[in-house]
Chains A and B, each alone.
Chain A
Amino acid sequence: NAGVTQTPKFRILKIGQSMTLQCTQDMNHNYMYWYRQDPGMGLKLIYYSVGAGITDKGEVPNGYNVSRSTTEDFPLRLELAAPSQTSVYFCASSYPGLSYEQYFGPGTRLTVT
């Protein structure tokens, strides 16, 4: 299994541009999450999904949108990029079993200038 994969690894955007961060998992996990990591701030939840067609906001959803049309994919959309969205973005997934572990992707480093 590849686990959780994210593309791209790096991206530079200009203010006002839009882009989609891709996330795919091949573990048949029901739950998927998007976090952002800022220096000295830990990780904060942007959006999450408990299954295909079901999404909900996390702690910091403003400026982002998500969709979940399949179990495997959970893309994160930035419509009008702002410098405050400069961050490292992590996608994660989990399965409602005994381990409760979340599996993380390698991250996307985004810079908005």
Chain B
Amino acid sequence: AQSVTQLDSQVPVFEEAPVELRCNYSSSVSVYLFWYVQYPNQGLQLLLKYLSGSTLVESINGFEAEFNKSQTSFHLRKPSVHISDTAEYFCAVSENQAGTALIFGKGTTLSVSS
């Protein structure tokens, strides 16, 4: 069975500062890794995913995450955040086969202030 630990429940930062949201997972099989974002009163949207290949994956809005197999981590980073990045971020893992349900972490609330 898989599990996901998001190490910070809340991360407050100032606009234009860098941010890192930490995610560790455990699994006895190979996994796929995902970051989802949830804006207030909305559903979840996929931010980025790691399936295979390059361990550094990027989103279109400046976030990136690096898969580190030895440390079983998939931390999310952004070099300069905006007010609009304020949201809840969920790390999720699934077995590496189609249709497998996602196992979610408890979420990290990113609050960006000016």
Residues of chain A touching chain B, judged by Cβ–Cβ distance below 8 Å, are: 4, 30-31, 33, 35, 40-45, 48, 50, 58, 90, 92, 94-102, 104-107
Jot down 12 A-B pairs with beta carbons below 8 A, ordered by A: A31-B98, A35-B104, A40-B107, A43-B104, A50-B99, A58-B101, A95-B98, A100-B32, A101-B46, A104-B44, A106-B43, A107-B42
Q: Which residues of chain A have C-beta atoms less than 8 A from B9's C-beta?
A: 40
Docked-complex contact A105 and B107, CB < 8 angstroms: no
Instruction: Give chain B residues whose Cβ lies under 8 Å from the Cβ of A90.
Output: 43-44
Known: A90-B43, A106-B42. A42 touches B104 (CB 8 A): yes
In the complex, the number of residue pairs spanning A and B with C-beta atoms less than 8 Å apart equals 57
List the A residue with the shortest CB-CB distance to B46: A101
Task: Assign chain B's interface to a size class.
Answer: 20 to 34
A33-B101, A48-B101, A96-B98 given; A104·B107 CB < 8 A: no
Query: Which B residues are CB-close (under 8 A) to A44?
Result: 104
User: With A106-B42, A106-B43, A107-B43 in contact, is A100–B101 under 8 Å at CB?
Assistant: no
- B residues 31-69 touching A (CB-CB < 8 Å): 32, 34, 36, 42-46, 49, 51
B106 at the interface (CB under 8 A from A): yes
- Cβ of B19 < 8 Å from any Cβ of A? no
Q: How far is the CB of B58 from chain A (nearest CB, A)?
A: 16
Shortest B102–chain A CB gap in Å is 6
15 additional A-B residue pairs with CB within 8 Å, beyond A35-B104, A43-B44, A43-B104: A4-B43, A30-B99, A41-B106, A42-B104, A44-B104, A90-B44, A92-B44, A95-B98, A98-B51, A100-B49, A101-B46, A102-B46, A104-B36, A105-B43, A107-B43
CB contact under 8 A between A104 and B43, given known A40-B106, A40-B107, A42-B90? yes
